[in-house]
Structure 1
Amino acid sequence: MIVYRLSRGKYRNDLSGRGAELAGGRWNSKGIAILYTSESIALCTVEIAVHMPLGIVPADYFLVRIYLPDEVPLQELADEELPADWKSFPHANSTQEIGDAFVMESEYLIMKVPSATVQGNYNYLVNPRHPEFNKVAALEAVPFEFDKRLFVKES
Structure 2
Amino acid sequence: MEVFRLHNAKYPMALSGKGAALTGARWNSKGTEIIYTAHGRCLAMAEVVVHLSLATLPKGFKMISINIPEDIEIYELPTTKLTVGWNVFPETVDTQAIGDHFIRELKYAVMKVPSAVVKGDFNYLLNPFHPDFNQITISSKEDFPFDKRIFK
Same fold (TM over 0.5): yes
Residue identity over aligned pairs, in percent, reads 44
Q: 1:122 to 1:12 in 2, by over 3 A?
A: farther
Alignment of 1:87-106 (within 5 A): 87-106=87-106
Alignment RMSD: 1.2
- SS of 2:104's partner is helix
State the partner residue of 1:123: 123
Do structure 1's residue 40 and structure 2's residue 40 form an aligned pair? yes
- SS of 1:132's partner is helix
CA contact (8 A) 1:4 1:39 kept: yes
Which sits farther off after the overlay, 55-64 or 88-97? Answer: 55-64
State the partner residue of 2:57: 57
Counterparts of 2:151 and 2:15, CA distance in 1: 27
Runs (5+) with no aligned partner, structure 1: none
Counterparts of 1:12 and 1:82, CA distance in 2: 33
Do structure 1's residue 136 and structure 2's residue 133 form an aligned pair? no
State the partner residue of 1:24: 24
Counterparts of 1:54 and 1:62, CA distance in 2: 18
Q: 1:135 to 1:46 in 2, by over 3 A?
A: same
CA contact (8 A) 1:58 1:146 kept: no
- SS of 2:131's partner is coil
Which sits farther off after the overlay, 93-102 or 3-12? Answer: 3-12
TM-score w.r.t. the length of structure 2 is 0.95
CA contact (8 A) 1:21 1:34 kept: yes
Runs (5+) with no aligned partner, structure 2: none
CA contact (8 A) 1:12 1:64 kept: no
Counterparts of 1:80 and 1:28, CA distance in 2: 19
After superposition, what is the alpha-carbon deviation per residue over 1:6-31, rounded to whole angstroms, capped at 9, x for unaligned? 11114463100110011211000111
State the partner residue of 2:147: 147
Do structure 1's residue 5 and structure 2's residue 13 form an aligned pair? no
CA contact (8 A) 1:73 1:110 kept: yes
CA contact (8 A) 2:54 2:148 kept: no
Counterparts of 1:133 and 1:79, CA distance in 2: 25
Deviation at residue 85 of structure 1 after TM alignment: 2.1
- How many aligned residue pairs are there? 152
Do structure 1's residue 86 and structure 2's residue 86 form an aligned pair? yes
